[in-house]
Chains A and B, each alone.
Chain A
Amino acid sequence: MIRIEARNSPPMLLKVGVPIFAAFVSLLLAAIPLAFAGANIGTAFVEMVRGVFGSVFAFSEMLTRATPLIFTGLAAAVAFRARLWNIGAEGQLYLGAMAAVAVGTGVLDVSGIILIPVIIIIGCFAGAFGMAVPVILKTRFGADEVVTTLLLNFIVLILVQMMLEGPLKDPMGLGWPQSSPILDQGMLPVLLDRMRVHSGLIIGLILALVLQLLITRSVWGFKLRAVGENIAASRHAGIRINRSLLSVAVCSGGLAGLAGVSEVIGLKGYLTADISPGFGYTGIVVAMLAGLSPVGVVVAALFIASVFVGADSMSRAMGVSSYLADLVVSMSLLCVLIGGFFAHYRVAWVSAPAKVKK
């Protein structure tokens, strides 16, 4: 007979150890599909590691990939802490990206010191708006934010496609559905010469630290946690629930919007409808892997980005499908969820009580 008992408070070692362990397990599990694909598993893993740590370029590519994941991971983490299920980071990312090209491609021709902050702020606002709407619908009409934010993703994506075929279309773009390029002074500086990794990463790291501080130490963070953990007691204690949720929504949406801004003005320089290969959704995995801790999000984003970049490079080297990366990422989420269960519960085998004959 299996008995499952709740642990009183999971020890710190377990809290930190479980996600790391889960990440390793998910990598090990990747050996199964690799074997099916007929690859040499040992070489495959070596290729994967080389794809991330093999050169400065490889490593910088990983950091480039991690940057948007830090933003979307933070967006999910802050919202989930308040039990606000923002599944719409993908859409908010596109709103931020769209706002970036709206102001960054020539409407405002000022020096970079002004232009970059303006683009960032407008992009944040756009993302925040994208999350504020579902939360207002939730607090006003009780609409489930899981449904609304998820569906808004598709609406926003179609809106982006429409805009790229219309007002935002680059007149010099030879008919491609893409926006005009961001002005040169509007682009974020790169961190290394001839590499793609850009200062969006630094912004992400700073924001992670700030958020960590805000969530654990500030009154705002206190309210956010209280609302997330027990909404009835929070309301009873005089915390304004709707206001708290709205502020969380603005913060979460803003962060997701920033992911889009950073991709546009840090990496691509223009907007297309495929700028994000699901960064918004992957951000949810990142946040869960991080145990909803902002600093943990950075670590988790680096891990997930390594898996993506490593698997990419491995698939090129060995001719295995690169969808393997998606598989590892999804397995890592499952492993973390299962691991989280073991962190909170203790499973004991107990012998069944002896049956006594009447």
Chain B
Amino acid sequence: MSAKNVLSLLSLSKRFGTTLANDQVTLDLKRGEILALLGENGAGKTTLMNMLFGHYLPDEGSILISNAEDKMVPLTPGHPQAALAAGIGMVHQHFTLAENLTALENITLGSEPLWALGTNKVKVREKIEKIIKRSGLKVDLNVAVGRLSVGEKQRVEILKALYRDAKILVLDEPTAVLTPQEADLLFKNIQAMTLDGLSVIFISHKLREVLEFSHRIVVLRNGKKVGEILTCDADEKIIANMMVGEDAKVLKRTKLKVGQSLLSLSAITLKGNSLRNSLSDISLVVHEHEVLGVAGVSGNGQSVLAELISGLSFPNLGEIKIGSNRIDKPSPMAMISAGIGRIPEDRHRDGIVGSMTVAENAILESLNDPRVQRFGFLRQEAMTDYAEKLCEAYDVRGPGVRFPARLLSGGNIQKLILARVFEKLPSLILANQPTRGLDLGAASDVERRLLDARNRGAGVILISEDLDEILRLSDRIMVMYSGELKEVSSRNREEIGMLMAGKNK
């Protein structure tokens, strides 16, 4: 491609306290190009985009953007209004939509004066419909956004940017909440839009979609740009190495003969307060030496399934058996004593008590252990020793075990929870979104430990939105949709994706 530049970031730096979030990052974007911005968590991708959009003021460097006459002019830093006016549209990971307004109202919100909407409605609608036709982003404009699906909401966000005549679209992890089909559709639409001259930067963790849909890849690490490669010259290994800076270890799952049943749920029905929190007639079995992957778009009952296995929810109907014992009164304590280790989805809310020390969090589930307490009193020294050993074995890095756990980073909090769970040698591990929000290094560490546990003889229930992760780790795969659980024998992405979207062949 030899198109002209529409955007140049010139050696942008941003410092937060003592950390250098962005260090002299230089980046060009061409007209009609799809640029993928890759990097681990904390690599500085979001900071960079926030500077572009004017949320942050860069400490050094400048931004050039092409104006109407195709000349590169400097962009006023630190002013979102200026970025909007210059044609930059940003779609955040968490949507910023008013749920009770219609799609049409959301799209025009902020760019059309409210009182003029009545008179301009026809013109406004025509403009949006033209954009929809050109981009292929199909949305029912008259429906309240709250009733749209996640994929549709995202389309509304993009339409909102396009309505403001965005020339450059920034998407922050756009596919995190989409089914594979929705994601593919999104990228097809984006490709169509770039033919009209739109330029796109998207932030992603998923190597597959980056390789499939981008033109060029820029990799950030520790705030620096460490690599730039045309997608046609790249493969997964090259990019992964750029991201972590060393040879990424490839996980190997050897086939094992499964042992006896560890946990079985039969015909469980649980009526929650909404469909998202209900289970209808689900059954599953997990055996020794087995990883059972539960795939699905979040909000289809995974949380309540996890609560059930954690002992936090009670089924209305059905039977839970651990080994050969029926569990009549599930409770977290009963599940822990039965040898179930639980890695919660929301680790900050359910996993740790942030204001208590790392050491105290390390023993949160072992308060009855004589190694930790004697006559109802905690053995401070034993506790600290235990926590220190644990932190070393599981590579939990932070200010020390006597400091509040909330000072740890997300990845280290997860490692602490993992340490707490694995140290008890659980016979069954429930891992709910265990790598969500973790960087590549921490995530592959978590995955490796889950496989180690399986090889040792434990059973693992892995609930994840990341289909690639499910495919990598699981011996068997089930798909959750709308509170129902179906086993799939195939390992075909398309087929699993169809089930995730609720479509039976």
Name the interface size band of chain B.
35 or more
Q: From A84-92, A146-154, A223-231, give the one contacting chain B.
A: A223-231
A194 within 8 A of B: no
- Whether A217 lies near B365 (C-beta < 8 A) is no
CA distance A226 to B353 in the complex (A): 6
- Interface 1/0 per residue, A210-240 and B, CB below 8 Å: 0000000111101101100110111111111
Closest Cβ–Cβ distance, residue B360 to chain A (whole Å): 7
29 A-B pairs whose Cβ atoms sit less than 8 Å apart in the complex: A8-B404, A9-B404, A217-B377, A217-B378, A218-B377, A219-B373, A219-B376, A219-B377, A220-B376, A222-B367, A226-B353, A229-B353, A230-B354, A232-B350, A234-B353, A236-B310, A236-B312, A236-B342, A236-B344, A237-B332, A237-B364, A238-B331, A238-B335, A238-B365, A240-B333, A353-B57, A356-B78, A356-B79, A358-B76
Given contacts A217-B377, A217-B380, A219-B373, contact A353 B333 (CB under 8 A): no
Cα(A217)–Cα(B383), bound, Å: 11
A26 to B332, CA, bound (A): 47
Is B80 an interface position by the 8 A CB rule?
no
Instruction: Kindly provide the distance from the CB of B228 to the nearest chain A CB, expressed in whole angstroms.
Output: 30
Known: A220-B376, A222-B360. A230 touches B349 (CB 8 A): yes
Nearest A residue (CB) for B310: A236
Give Cα A220–Cα B373 distance, bound, in whole angstroms: 11
Given known pairs A222-B378, A236-B332, A236-B344, the reply for A358 and B351 (CB within 8 Å) is no
Distance of A226 Cα from B79 Cα, bound (Å) = 43
Complex contact B376–A218 (CB within 8 A): yes
Say yes or no: A219-B331 contact (C-beta < 8 A), given A230-B354, A236-B342, A238-B336: no
Name the residue on A nearest B350 (C-beta): A236
Give, as a whole number of angstroms, the nearest-CB distance from A142 to chain B: 14
C-alpha gap A217/B375 in the complex (Å): 11
Given contacts A9-B403, A232-B350, 5 further A-B contacts (CB under 8 A): A230-B354, A234-B364, A238-B332, A238-B335, A356-B78
Assess whether A218 is in contact with B378, with CB atoms less than 8 Å apart: yes
Docked pose: A230 CA to B332 CA in angstroms: 16
B117 → A minimal CB distance (Å): 27
- A229 near B355: Cβ-Cβ < 8 Å: yes
Chain B min CB distance to A132 (Å): 21
Is B352's beta carbon under 8 Å from chain A?
Answer: yes
Check if B226 is an interface residue, CB within 8 A of chain A: no
Tell me, in angstroms, the Cα distance from A57 to B360 when the chains sit together.
Answer: 47
A141-169 Cβ-contact flags toward B at 8 Å (1 or 0): 00000000000000000000000000000
- Docked-complex contact A230 and B333, CB < 8 angstroms: no
Q: Smallest CB-CB separation from B307: which chain A residue?
A: A236
Task: Contact check, A233 vs B378: say whether CB atoms are below 8 A apart.
Answer: no
Partner pick for A356 among B77, B310, B376, CB 8 A cutoff: B77
Residues of A within 8 A of B355 (CB): 229-230
Closest 4 CB pairs of A and B: A238-B333, A238-B332, A230-B353, A236-B350
Q: Are B353 and A235 in contact, CB atoms less than 8 angstroms apart?
A: no
> When each residue 340-365 of chain B gets 1 if its CB lies under 8 Å from chain A and 0 otherwise, what string results?
00101000011111111000100011
Residues in B whose Cβ lies below 8 Å from that of A358: 76, 82
> Which residues from chain B contact A237 at a C-beta distance below 8 Å?
332, 336, 364-365
Q: Fill in one digit per residue for B65-79: 1 if any A CB lies within 8 Å of its CB, else 0.
A: 000000000001111
- B407 contacts the other chain (CB 8 A): yes
Contact of A225 (CB < 8 Å), options: B312, B356, B373: B356
- Once the chains are docked, how many angstroms separate the CA of A230 from the CA of B354? 8
The interface bits of chain B over 149-189 (1 if a CB of A lies within 8 angstroms of the residue's CB, else 0) are 00000000000000000000000000000000000000000
For the complex formed, measure the closest distance between the CB of A214 and the CB atoms of chain B, giving whole angstroms: 9
> Chain B residues with Cβ under 8 A from A356's Cβ?
76-79
Report the bound CA distance from A346 to B93 in whole Å: 30
Give the distance to chain B from A296, nearest Cβ to Cβ, in Å.
18
Once the chains are docked, how many angstroms separate the CA of A356 from the CA of B365? 55
What residues of A have a CB within 8 angstroms of the CB of B336 in the complex?
Answer: 237-238
- Taking CB atoms, residues of chain B closer than 8 Å to A222 are 360, 367, 378
Contact A8 B312 (CB under 8 A): no
Given A236-B342, A353-B78, A8:B378 Cβ within 8 A: no
Q: Report B338 CB to chain A, min CB distance, Å.
A: 11
Contact A229 B377, beta carbon cutoff 8 Å = no
A110 to chain B, nearest CB (A): 33
Point out which of A218, A225, A230 has the most chain B C-beta atoms below 10 A from its C-beta. A230
A353→B354 CA distance, assembly (Å): 34
CB distance from B366 to the nearest CB of A (A): 9
Docked pose: A31 CA to B76 CA in angstroms: 53
Q: How far is the CA of A230 from the CA of B377 in the complex (A)?
A: 21
Q: Kindly list chain A residues whose C-beta atoms are within 8 Å of the C-beta of B333.
A: 238, 240
Which residues of chain A have C-beta atoms less than 8 A from B342's C-beta? 236
Q: How far is the CB of A279 from chain B (nearest CB, A)?
A: 30
Q: What chain A residues lie within 8 Å of B335 (beta carbons)?
A: 238
CB contacts under 8 Å to A, within B286-316, are: 310-312
Residues from chain A with Cβ under 8 Å of B377 in the complex = 217-219
Report if A232-B349 is in contact (Cβ < 8 Å); known contacts: A219-B367, A353-B57. Answer: yes
Contacts of A240 in B (CB 8 A): 331, 333
Residues of B400-455 whose CB lies within 8 A of A:
403-404, 407
Q: B333 — nearest CB in chain A belongs to which residue? A: A238
In the complex, how many angstroms separate the beta carbon of A55 from the nearest chain B beta carbon? 43
**Residues on the A chain within 8 Å of B311, using CB:** 238
In the complex, per-residue mask of A1-20: 1 if CB is within 8 Å of any chain B CB, else 0:
00000001100000000000
Most buried by A among B79, B336, B373, B376: B376
Distance between A208 CB and nearest chain B CB, rounded to angstroms:
18
Nearest CB of chain B from residue A80's CB, rounded to whole Å: 14
**Residue in A closest to B349 when the chains form the complex, CB atoms:** A232
* Neighbouring B residues of A218 by C-beta, 8 Å: 376-378
